[in-house]
Amino acid sequence: MAELTERDRAVLELEGRGWRTAGAKEQAIRQELGISATRYYQLLNALLDRAEALAHAPVLVNRLRRVRQQRREAR
């Protein structure tokens, strides 16, 4: 099993925060990770399928997996 990279852990940590204002999360993505919001969500989506991410942040990953599944079923 491969380990999470520092960036992988940073993506999960950032996703786990609460965001009070619109745009604050996207600004943090650019400032802290140096990537676009689109790339961030691509990375996050890929992380949700990894056992390492589940082991690192089980509550967050399981919640995001449920949200993703609900969105797929709503299509």
pTM (whole model) above 0.75: yes
Considering the domain boundaries, does residue 55 fall inside one? yes
Considering the domain boundaries, does residue 1 fall inside one? no
Domain range for 29 is: 6-74
Considering the domain boundaries, does residue 18 fall inside one? yes
Per-residue pLDDT of the chain (75 residues; tens, 9 = 90+): 689 999 999 999 999 998 898 899 999 999 999 999 999 999 999 999 999 999 999 999 999 999 999 999 998
Domain count of the fold of the chain: 1
Structure tokens at 38: 């689109």
Question: In 10 A of CB 12, how many CB atoms?
Answer: 20
Considering the domain boundaries, does residue 35 fall inside one? yes
Considering the domain boundaries, does residue 10 fall inside one? yes
Task: Write out pLDDT tens, residues 29-50.
Answer: 999 999 999 999 999 999 999 9
The percent of the chain in helix, strand and coil, each rounded to the nearest 5, is 70, 0, 30
